[in-house]
Structures are given as C-alpha cells and as structure tokens.
Amino acid sequence: MKKLKIVSLILCVALAVTCFAACSSSASGLDKIKKAGKLTVLTNAEFPPYEYIGSGGSVEGIDVDISQAIADEIGVTLEIVNMDFDGLIPALVGGKGDIVAAGLTVDPERAESVDFTTTYADAKQLIIVTAADPKVANADDLAGKTIGVQLGTTGDLYVTDNVEGADVKQYKSGLDASVDLMNGKLDAVVIDQLTAESIVASNPDLVIVDMPDTDEQYAIAVPKGDTELTDLISGVIQNLIDEGKIAEFTATHVEEFTS
C-alpha cells in the first residue's frame, strides 16, 4: 500500500509538470506581448518601399506603418529588429520576435513553419535590366543568363527552380544586385514588383521587363498555432484596407524612397 501511494504521488507530480508545460507552451503570444509592453517585429530593411532605412537612420516603410497600427491596437510600443531576410522565419520560430512583417509572400513551404494573417498586398516578380544594353527582353530570355536575386525571396526561388541554366547570384538586397547590374556584372535582376519599380524610379539607367504568371500576396507571419494573435492582426489589417490606410502608406513610402 505504501508503494502504491508513492507511485501515485510520482504520477501526480509528473502530470502536474506536464500540464504546466503544456499550458505554458500554449500561452498566447498576445499575452506575452502585453506583459513585455512591446511588439517585437522582425524585418529586413532592404526591401523598399515595404521596409528601408530612412533619412533619419531608422527603419521605415509600409510594413512599419502596419506594425505600428498593430502595436497601437494592442496598446504597446513597437520594436523593429532588422536582420537578413533568409533568417526571418527561423528567428520567429526560435522565439526571437513576435511577428515577421517584411513583404513576406504567402507560400505553402513557409506555412509549414508559421501562420499567416489576412493578406494586405498583391505582387508579382519583375525583371530589371539596363536601359542601354538590355540582355533580357522577356522571361524566356532569362535562360542561361547571370541573374541577381535577393537571398531567400520568391524571386530567388523562382529563378533557381524555373530558369534553365541560370547563373544565380544571391544578394542581401535588391539594391545591391541593381548596383552590380549597372556595373555589368549581371544580365538581369529578378525581384518583387513594387521594389523593382522603386529601384528603377531611382535609377534612370535601369528599366523593367514584365514577368507573367508570377502573382503572389503579402501577409504577416505569426508563430504557428497562435490563433488569437493571428485573428487580432488580421482584423487590424482589414480595417486598414477598408479605411484606405494601406494605400496611403504605399503612396507615402514610394514617394519617400524615390524622391
């Protein structure tokens, strides 16, 4: 009987520990954000006009404005963490931030690791070439060319997976790739639409070539399974869309970056 009581006690303790761990791991990110008093947003400030380093040295952009609206809704301050694009999802999964807002395309592979909010922008891939001596006139011409991409982006994945014989050069930013393009080290750069348009608007020596059938949508990434935080952010995004605020953010930052 004594042994039975000891075993029962051990089982009860083990059950309590398991229960505590389960409850702790399932705690909402929203509760953690409120307790910390800040919303930590992971981004890559190399993707204008969605995120870039402004004239004052801080990170600015469409995603920053959206993140600020989310922080305001929760009632906390906003903290932006700038890091390499290809490290954003691993950092979120590793608990180094609360969300990722970085012109992030919704795709099935990423959705295995994170959840996505409602989308807030439509995009596609475009090709940037030099105006004076374009080496690419259409998407088919990319075959066998030396192509610059931003590491870890959908442009990188598209060229690597779909362009036959391409010599893919990966950069930390589309801006860095465009510099090498102008210096004759690349035949073309493939990157998201609004970023491509912003780069070309600031560089008259570059022009855009269309890429059909590369439509995609942007959303904010949230830790897997955190329905409460995902729903709250989706609600904020939908309100911003309905009020025309995201269109305003876009116009402001396109003008800011290209002026």
* Alpha carbons 150 and 217: distance in angstroms, whole number: 17
pLDDT of residue 55: 86
Q: What average pLDDT values come out for the chain (259 residues) when binned by 10 residues?
A: 40 42 58 97 95 93 98 98 96 98 94 97 96 95 97 92 95 95 97 93 94 93 97 98 97 85
pLDDT of residue 24: 40
pLDDT of residue 220: 98
pLDDT of residue 59: 97
Task: Note if the bond before 90 is cis, omega within 30 degrees.
Answer: no
* Alpha carbons 106 and 56: distance in angstroms, whole number: 31
pLDDT of residue 2: 36
Q: What is the pLDDT of residues 68-78, one digit of tens each?
A: 999 999 999 99
pLDDT of residue 27: 61
Q: Domains (ranges, CATH) in the chain?
A: 29-122+217-258 (3.40.190.10), 125-210 (3.40.190.10)
pLDDT of residue 9: 43
> Which residues on neighbouring strands pair with residue 171, listed in sequence order?
150
Q: What is the pLDDT of residues 83-96, one digit of tens each?
A: 999 999 999 999 99
137: its two tokens: 């006139």
Give SS3 for 77: strand
Strand boundaries in the chain, DSSP class E: 38-43, 46-47, 51-53, 59-60, 77-82, 99-105, 114-116, 121-123, 125-130, 146-150, 167-171, 188-192, 206-210, 216-223
50: its two tokens: 């969605």
